[in-house]
Copies of this chain bind each other. A is one copy, B any other.
């Protein structure tokens, strides 16, 4: 198949592109390289030394003989060029990772809120709009997030996308309706993914687009079968307070002897998946499209749920590093349960990696290998969700820099 990976230079996008290429698909990465610019803005970098996309492609070709094409294109801002590109390249499927993906970054300031909303909504809408306009019948696979449900997690199982409700009619009879499971996003980033859902619903209904939305858990790990093949194919690996995600951060902190930073009570329960499974799942989703005219296909792309303080304890036990409880910068419940249905997702026939599978050690080893690249001052999470939460944060070096500029 011809598969376009929008955002194919990012943390999920790069290993997905390599996996798809390794499976024999013809792959084109379309990316504006914004994630590299954000590294520059924040003055942080991937824990792992990451080559340019051009160099990565050269190495991949050298190692496997496979070409992965690369197109520098801003999906959110350059609709007309994207449309032309689409008519030229004509993909059979499009994987859409091309959104700003960090909740803390999206809450950093009003500038970051505006950027995240405009970038993510325009990127998603431009893909949909262009598919209709060009009449290219590509299956769209989008990376969503379990996080859209936020406050909706009332201790009931979150189904794969849809909730069956009964609505009472005037004559007293009940009518069954299947609705998008209600979202209650907790950050601007999560809000954009909730908006995406409504756009997908519209375009599937009005224009018969074939769309799959993967509601993914928090990704952990960094390497996949392909990124391990050469030092220069290594995946990016974020440890900073904005882009680092919870389990990976704990593993890095454990590896370098930095106290594990738990926000609030650590009673938050979250869904997790290993990056190796992410890339396999995306391929499985691509090859199982819904029919034209069907509703959006939604998978809960996650393997297991854990409470944050339990993960911290697990990493503390493994590494001997202390746990430190900090004020929570996020406006969220101190404690929440999370039960997730993923039967449909498991029905794709994948053998999923769990935390017990020993891959945690690989993460720790990588972190130790590149420990010399860590700027410890960038580990704390410094983006407060609102004024009250932000007031508890001691120092934000990025905001301090921004102030110096303005």
Contact indicator B157/A133 (Cβ below 8 Å):
no
Q: Tell me if A16 is interfacial: C-beta within 8 Å of chain B.
A: no
Contact indicator B113/A129 (Cβ below 8 Å):
yes
Which residue of B83, B118, B180 is within 8 Å of A182 (Cβ)?
B180
Q: Tell me if A85 is interfacial: C-beta within 8 Å of chain B.
A: no
Residue-wise interface mask of A (147-168) relative to B, using a CB-CB cutoff of 8 A (1 in contact, 0 not): 0000110111100000101011
Give the total of A residues in contact with B, Cβ under 8 Å: 55
Q: Tell me if A126 is interfacial: C-beta within 8 Å of chain B.
A: yes
328-385 of chain A: CB within 8 A of chain B: 331, 339, 385
- The residue of chain B having its C-beta at the shortest distance from the C-beta of A79 within the complex is B114
- The residue of chain B having its C-beta at the shortest distance from the C-beta of A130 within the complex is B110
Q: Tell me if A265 is interfacial: C-beta within 8 Å of chain B.
A: no
Q: Would you list the 7 A-B pairs with minimal beta carbon distance, nearest first? A: A179-B182, A110-B133, A156-B167, A195-B195, A156-B169, A191-B202, A165-B165
**Which residues does A use to contact B, with CB under 8 Å?**
79, 83, 110, 113-114, 117-118, 121-122, 125-126, 129-130, 132-133, 135, 151-152, 154-157, 163, 165, 167-170, 175, 177, 179-180, 182-188, 191, 194-195, 198-199, 201-202, 205-208, 331, 339, 385-387
Give me 23 A-to-B residue pairs in the complex whose CB atoms sit less than 8 angstroms apart, sorted by A's number: A79-B110, A110-B129, A110-B133, A114-B125, A117-B125, A121-B121, A121-B195, A132-B386, A151-B205, A152-B177, A154-B167, A155-B170, A156-B169, A157-B170, A165-B182, A186-B202, A187-B206, A188-B202, A191-B199, A191-B202, A195-B195, A205-B331, A208-B386
Q: A155-B175, A195-B199 are in contact. List 5 more A-B contacts (CB 8 A).
A: A114-B129, A135-B387, A152-B179, A163-B167, A206-B385
